[in-house]
Amino acid sequence: MARQLDDFIQGYLQYTKNSESPTTYHLWSAIGCISAALERRVSMQWGHTRVFPNQYICLIGPSGARKGEPIVIAQEMVEAVGVSLVAEAITKQALIRRIKESLSHFDDGKMQSQCAVSVVSEEFATFLGDNDAGFLADLTNWYDSRGSWTYDTKHSGTDEIVGVCVNILASMAPDWIPLCIPQVAIGGGFTSRILFVVEHRKGKTISDPNLYSIDQKLGEALKRDLERIKKLVGEIAFDPEAKEAYKAWYEREEVRNQKGQPALKDPRFAGYVNRRATHIKKIAMACSASRSDDLFVLAADFDRARLFMESAEKNMESVFGKIGSSPLVAQTQEIMDFIRQKKSVPKWKVMQAFYRDVDDKMMDSIEATLRATKLVKKTIDSAGNVVYKWMA
């Protein structure tokens, strides 16, 4: 059976074009669907390391940013092709049991075993629980899809899961992050493995979505292509042109890092920056599978993966905006987001919006912080009002 579409990702964006959700949410949901379908059947040998296409993707945005619909659409897609899904609210013990029960086999020249599951969750906070450091450590370990994972059982000593592979596509409001992830873990192993896709508002306004019929024919074509993607087995590799493009990118980024100019400047993303090379390979594998069954990453696939990743990184640093030791960190982030949204806003309007949380003295401190970051400029209008302008 031939592919129905020239490219799964582009078809997916066409299918979801009449949604109010930001396009980026649907883009990364499409990538998450591909990664979920590939499971552990496809991999890339990179030196002594084998890289698998599973990813941890989290859509971040405030209430009203329309995070939920992309998750619902993606869940319907992966359910249709038989991806093993995990319940949104589940205990760690039940999850481990669910992973072990997902055992399946495939032949890539010799018989292989895997225990692959996908988490597709509208409420990632519910899945993660309340500052459960042990669970975060397990999720960190599972990300690399090692050949076996051993754990202690309550009554039987130790047990082993063969070929563990966990893929995550989830959404969460930024306010929940401090409740789910301990501050000491921010920037550590777990968060460095997550691609945070951050938007601050919905993508567009559609007052009556029923005016636009859902393209059922396109939806079925997407499911058929995803089913074909799920049957891919074998080793995926860069073709010569793509490998040269990757090497040039990697060497350029290493020079930037050595000069103290990393892609993300927030030190809490140092772990993520060090892991970008792995992220881009995983995304490139998804881009290749989106396009063809040939199991080659072409230069165009790598370029697309790079653009997708760099686009997500533009807003990524704001994900931890309300986490820090400063007593005004949450208020500073909220006011920064407010000014970003307005582009230019008088101080009195800021105070009207935030008088419950910020007094005039606190505002002076927040203003000094924002000006020091050079993200906000203070001006005076013709009426003598202080005006804040967003400069980024």
Quickly list DSSP for 226-266: HHHHHT--EE-EE-HHHHHHHHHHHHHHHHHHHTT--SS-S
* Per-residue H/E/C for 146-166: CCEEEEEECCCEEEEEECEEE
Q: Which structure tokens are listed for 134?
A: 């042990």
Helix axis angle, 23-38 to 299-316, nearest 10° = 130
pTM of the model: 0.84
Task: Confirm if 46 and 281 have CB atoms less than 8 A apart.
Answer: yes
Please give the domain boundaries of the chain with CATH numbers for all domains: 8-316 (3.40.50), 329-390 (1.10.10.10)
Give 18's DSSP letter: T
At residue 155, φ and ψ (nearest 5 deg) are -120, -15
As a whole-number percent, the residues of the chain with pLDDT over 70 amount to: 96
pLDDT tens-place values along the chain, 392 residues long:
688 999 999 999 999 999 999 999 999 999 999 999 999 999 999 999 999 999 999 999 988 899 999 999 999 999 999 999 997 778 888 999 999 999 999 998 889 999 999 999 998 988 898 878 888 999 999 999 999 998 877 666 688 899 999 999 999 998 888 888 877 677 678 899 999 999 989 999 998 888 788 899 999 999 999 999 999 999 999 999 999 999 999 999 999 999 999 999 888 899 999 999 999 999 999 999 999 999 999 999 999 999 999 999 999 988 886 555 456 777 888 888 889 889 999 999 999 988 888 888 888 888 888 888 888 999 999 888 999 999 87
Taking only Cα atoms into account, the Rg of the chain, rounded to an integer number of angstroms, comes to 22
Please work out, in degrees rounded to the nearest 5, the angle formed at the alpha carbon of residue 307 by the alpha carbons of 304 and 310.
150
Tell me how many helices (H) and strands (E) the chain has: 16, 16
